[in-house]
Every structure is written in structure tokens, then in C-alpha cells.
Amino acid sequence: MNPTENSKNAYIEASKYFPGGVNSPVRAFKNVGGNPLFIDHGKGSHIFDIDGNEYVDYVLSWGPLILGHADDEVVKELKGAVEKGTSYGAPTTLETDLAKMITSIVPSIEMMRMVSSGTEATMSAIRLARGFTNREKILKFVGNYHGHSDSLLVDAGSGVATFDINTSPGVPKDLAYDTYTVAYNDIDAVKELFDNHGDEIACAIVEPIAGNMGVIPGTQAFLDTLRSETTKHGSLLIFDEVMSGFRAAFHGAQSLYNITPDLTTLGKVVGGGLPVGVFGGRKDIMSEITPAGKIYHAGTLSGNPLAMTGGISTLKQLNDDLYAQMIGKVDTLTEGIKKVADQNNVPITVHHVGTMWSYFFNAGPVNNFADVQKSDQKFFAKFFNELIKQGIYTAPSEFETNFMTSKHTDGDIQKTITAFDVAMKKLRNKDMTQFRD
């Protein structure tokens, strides 16, 4: 590997203009004590930094790039789209084309609105739920992250957890007060809350497969309880599938649990690397949105033709066979990681669902946010940097998820398992604070 001097200098320069040198916090690598790598380009499963180093990428823009970087077909269609014009602020048939694909893949979404980020999707879905039910309280789960709108920045995962912020300064107290939070997978706490406050709750929003405290699947019983309690009390159930949509399974986490939420939010893969978010669901609820109804929603770049093209050209390449292949690769990788951890006597818990995977330096079980917090964060930080030195680019926090693409090769996967082995041999005992008995 070359020294990362160019990235260091680029970071110093960027820090003059952006708080912490970045435009989204976890990118700064602050919690892993490092200097972020500035990326020049990507192709397939690999990214290349501005010092000429090549990495096997499992971050993949935090999930969207299920076909890898610069997929030939996606690039071709985007080039065609850009030549026609970049934005009109008027309808195009591209929006309907993408919407038809979404309803066929995720049938609970009968009607939808296109937006430009996951944050916008969840924020709008919450407003819709409040307007539809005429209630103000919402329920979310500790360690779930739904973007950075005020009502949802309470006990959140992802960067909020990485930097140990409970509720961000700047969130009005009243809004935080309207957000009930309960531990993930805690069925009794959900029942108790609905028994006491059910008729005030507009909606429960949940990541059915949590991906913002590492990967933690909701249990079937937990999600079934959420479905039945919300129905019983006239609240809406929102599945935030910004991450798990097209990732946990082709048809989303909802297909794995056989649960139909009232509303679903999508993002990431649905735009194929361009800015797209979606909120949608029951037609009677969606019909309350302006101008069909009175609950306000709008966006200058909503349904942008380039963004729609990114989504269409990505979704049309997805199919069950491709998922079976990607899941096979995740199985090989995670089995390999567990095996080398065992051989090196390193306590580890590895979770994976579909094309999402993560690991915790924690003997487990890891079922909620409090369990993740027991992991060895210092060891994780050193380990992450060892992987980087070996050309493996993974999520820089235990509160994040790694992904797989259709482009990762057997060679990439074997290289990654070897890198885990080498890093464990180098760091175990000396740097670990948790040991096996």
C-alpha cells in the first residue's frame, strides 16, 4: 500500500470548509482514530483512493450499490438520461416506471411518493401518520436510526450512537417528549406502552432488521406484537426499510416475516447510488397527501429523472437468482470470519441477513442496543485500521452494517477472511479487553 498522504492533505483542506471535514459524520473515521480515505473512483467491488490504493469495499456508499460501483448498464443508462436534461420539476414517465417496479417487488406499497433521501422518506411518513390518525406521539426503538429529522433523533443508532449522543442538542424538548422509545425486541415493553398510551400513538416506526447498531434482526414475535398492538389501538405500523429494502431480501424484510406494514420507507438501493427515498403503503392513507388530500408533502427534486434512472437501471437487474448468489457469498464470508475468530480465540458475534452482515467483538448474544454497547470498541477501532492496511474497507463502526454486491469475487472473499485472520493474530491478547474463558 502507498502512504495515504494525499488523503491526509485533502482532509486538512476539507476541514476548513466542512465541520469535522465531512458532510456526514461517520465518514470522518473519528471514532477509529484515523484519517478518512478520499476516494477517486470505484469499479465493481473495489474502490481506489486518491493515493492510488485499492480496497475491497463492503461499505458501498452505506448500502445503495448492490451491483457494485459504476455498473456498466447503470452508467450507460445514466449517460443517456443526462443528455436529455437533468431536471424539469414536471412529471416524467420514469417516475411511474420506477413506481411500478417497486409495487411489484414490495406489494404492500400500493401508492407512494418519491423523495431524495431516507431522512425525507421517514420524516414525511411520520407527518402522514400523525395527520392521518390525528395523534402526536410516536414510538421508536433504541438504536434504530431513521435519518436526522427532529422527532426521530431520539435514542438513535448509526452516527448518533457512534458518537455517543443521546438526543441531539437542537431537538425541541416537546418533540423529543412526543417520541416514546423502547428497547428493540422487548415485547413486554411494547405491550405495556400500548396498554397505557395506545390511543395517543400515531405510529410505531421500526427497522424490521436493524442495521444501525450493526445487524440485529427483529424477532418474529416482536414484529408480530408490533403489528397486532398497532392494529388494536388504531396506530399505524411503519417499516423503515431504507436499509433492509432490497438488502435483507429481494422483497424486503417484510417478506421474510410475512407482515404487511401500513407504510414502508425505502432509500439506498432504490436509487442505485443516486439520491432517492420513497414512502408509501396503503392507498387510503397515501391518498391524504397533497394535492389529493391535505397532508403536505413536496420537493423540487422529488422524482428527479437521473435519480429515477439510477433506480430503474438497478432494480431491473435484480432477481431471486442474484440474491441466492449474493447470500451464498455472505455465508462463505461470515463462516470464514467465525472460523478464524475461533482459531484465534477472539470473542466475536457475527450477524447476517440477506446481503447485510456485521460483527461485534462481544461473545454475545447481541439482541439490542445495550448488548452492542458491551462490545470492545477499542479493539474494533484497531482492527478496522488493520483491515484498511490490508486493503479491506469495512464499516468504521460497530454501529454500522457491511454489505455484499453481485460483483464481489471468491478472491475478494478469501482475501477478506485472510485479512481478518492476520489482524486477529496481530492484535489479540495485547489489544483485547474482553477474553474468552
Q: Are 141 and 180 in contact, with CB atoms under 8 Å apart?
A: no
Q: Which residues bind ligand PMP (CB under 6 A)?
A: 62, 117-119, 122, 145-147, 158, 207, 211-212, 240, 242-243, 267
* Residue nearest ligand PMP, Cβ-based: 118
| Complex with ligand PMP: residue 252 or 347, whichever CB lies closer | 252
Q: Which residues contact 196 (CB under 8 A, 6 or more apart)?
A: none
Query: Among the residues of 267-347, which ranges form H helices?
Result: 283-286, 305-315, 320-343
Q: Let me know if 88 is a catalytic residue.
A: no
Name the active-site residue from 240, 371, 376, 412: 240
User: What is the spatial distance between Cα 74 and Cα 66, in angstroms, rounded to a whole number?
Assistant: 11
| Complex with ligand PMP: residue 102 or 417, whichever CB lies closer | 102
Q: Which residues contact 172 (CB under 8 A, 6 or more apart)?
A: 150
| Peptide bond preceding 365 in cis form (omega within 30 of 0) | yes
| Complex with ligand PMP: residue 153 or 424, whichever CB lies closer | 153
Task: Give CA angle at 316 (147, 410), nearest 5°.
Answer: 85
| Complex with ligand PMP: residue 242 or 259, whichever CB lies closer | 242
User: What is the spatial distance between Cα 142 and Cα 183, in angstroms, rounded to a whole number?
Assistant: 5
Instruction: State the nearest-atom distance from the C-beta of 111 to ligand PMP, in Å.
Output: 20
| Complex with ligand PMP: residue 10 or 266, whichever CB lies closer | 266
* Closest among 313, 238, 254 to 106, alpha carbons compared: 254
SS3 content of the chain, % helix, strand, coil (to 5): 45, 15, 40
**Three-class SS of residue 396?**
coil
| Complex with ligand PMP: residue 27 or 374, whichever CB lies closer | 27
CA-atom Rg of the chain in angstroms: 21
Instruction: State the nearest-atom distance from the C-beta of 248 to ligand PMP, in Å.
Output: 11
User: What is the spatial distance between Cα 316 and Cα 266, in angstroms, rounded to a whole number?
Assistant: 16
DSSP state of 373: H
User: What is the spatial distance between Cα 263 and Cα 268, in angstroms, rounded to a whole number?
Assistant: 17
**Sequence-distant contacts of 256-260: CB under 8 A, at least 24 apart:** 256/208, 256/209, 256/353, 257/208, 257/218, 257/220, 257/223, 257/224, 259/208, 259/223, 259/224, 259/227, 260/108, 260/227
User: What is the spatial distance between Cα 269 and Cα 154, in angstroms, rounded to a whole number?
Assistant: 25
* Closest among 92, 48, 84, 44 to 65, alpha carbons compared: 44
Name the active-site residue from 55, 58, 145, 180: 145
Instruction: State the nearest-atom distance from the C-beta of 202 to ligand PMP, in Å.
Output: 18
| Complex with ligand PMP: residue 242 or 348, whichever CB lies closer | 242
Instruction: State the nearest-atom distance from the C-beta of 270 to ligand PMP, in Å.
Output: 10
Q: Let me know if 316 is a catalytic residue.
A: no
Q: Let me know if 240 is a catalytic residue.
A: yes
User: What is the spatial distance between Cα 366 and Cα 11, in angstroms, rounded to a whole number?
Assistant: 35
The three three-digit cell numbers of residue 234, written as one number = 388504531
Tell me the catalytic residues. Answer: 145, 240, 268
